[in-house]
């Protein structure tokens, strides 16, 4: 898989079509690829399914994307927080669909997509409404529910550094869902603060190999594409 180093966030997301499933990294605002999200908002693709840990904070980033009305459905673990008023308003008005996925299941369903696993059994969700309509099985005396992978057409993630091949290093908790989302999407777009020469990154510190990265957008010190 080849990748492209660019300074144009708008060009990096310009081919995301209407109806796409877009995996967006971040745990709240930590590791959220704000510039790529803003570029997607400007691009205006409609009828999107967005997969994220939550449903946006305040009025920026993911929340601003939801406010456009172009997201048909969100798949997340924490849809409601103190500052999730954009999602709350849309959901109460019947303008957005919601699929709640326990956080561990969310991570594992993404990982399964990248690992080529067809489905897996998990005890999380057994006995709740989240298990309704799903296949269940008792294994060694414990009940499990069958879950399927979550695959994306595109993944928008944030990393700390990339080299010119597209190998990625993350910064502390900003790492969160980025690595598994990069493997679970057909096309992975990454925003980074710095691009270094190939060989400058310690191989032991590389979390996402370049094989999973298609496009890299470099940000300047103010956090916008340059």
| Average pLDDT, rounded, for the chain | 94
Q: Is the pLDDT of residue 176 over 80?
A: yes
Tens-digit pLDDT profile for residues 19-41:
999 999 999 889 999 999 999 99
Residue 19's pLDDT is 98
Global pTM exceeds 0.75: yes
Residue 219's pLDDT is 84
Under 8 Å between Cβ of 45 and 20: yes
How many Cα atoms are found within 13 Å in the side-chain-facing hemisphere of 173? Answer: 4
Here the tokens at position 213 are: 């990265």
Residue 226's pLDDT is 42
pLDDT band at 87 (very low <50, low <70, confident <90, very high): very high
Out of 15-29, 54-68, 169-183, 208-222, least confident range: 208-222
Q: CA 150, CA 4: separation in Å to the nearest integer?
A: 25
Cα 189-66-160 angle, rounded to 5 deg: 30
Residue 54's pLDDT is 95
Residue 7's pLDDT is 72
Over residues 55-70, the mean pLDDT reads 95
Q: Is the pLDDT of residue 5 over 70?
A: no
Q: CA 25, CA 28: separation in Å to the nearest integer?
A: 9
Residue 41's pLDDT is 97
3-class SS of residue 180: helix
Residue 208's pLDDT is 98
Distance of CA 90 to the CA centre of its chain: 20
CA distances from 147 to 25, 92, 107, 115 (A): 21, 28, 12, 14
Tens-digit pLDDT profile for residues 141-153:
999 999 999 999 9
End-to-end CA distance of the chain: 24
């Amino acid at each position: 898989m080849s990748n492209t180093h660019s300074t144009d966030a708008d060009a990096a997301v310009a081919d995301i079509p209407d109806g796409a499933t877009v995996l967006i990294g971040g745990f709240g605002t930590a590791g959220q690829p704000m510039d790529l999200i803003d570029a997607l908002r400007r691009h205006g693709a409609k009828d999107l399914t967005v997969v994220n840990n939550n449903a946006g904070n305040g009025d920026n980033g993911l929340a601003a994307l939801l406010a456009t009305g172009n997201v048909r459905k969100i798949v997340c673990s924490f849809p409601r927080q103190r500052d999730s008023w954009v999602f709350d308003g849309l959901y109460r008005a019947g303008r957005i669909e919601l699929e709640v996925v326990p956080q561990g299941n969310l991570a594992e369903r993404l990982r399964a997509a990248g690992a080529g696993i067809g489905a897996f059994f998990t005890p999380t969700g057994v006995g709740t409404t989240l298990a309704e309509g799903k296949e269940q099985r008792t294994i060694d005396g414990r009940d499990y529910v069958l879950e399927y992978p979550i695959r994306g057409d595109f993944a928008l993630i944030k990393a700390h550094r990339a080299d010119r091949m597209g190998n990625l290093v993350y910064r502390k908790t900003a790492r969160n869902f980025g690595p598994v989302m990069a493997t679970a999407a057909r096309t992975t777009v990454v925003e980074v603060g710095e691009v270094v020469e190939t060989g400058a990154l310690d191989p032991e510190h590389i979390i996402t190999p370049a094989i999973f990265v298609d496009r890299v957008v470099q940000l300047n010190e103010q956090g916008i594409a340059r």
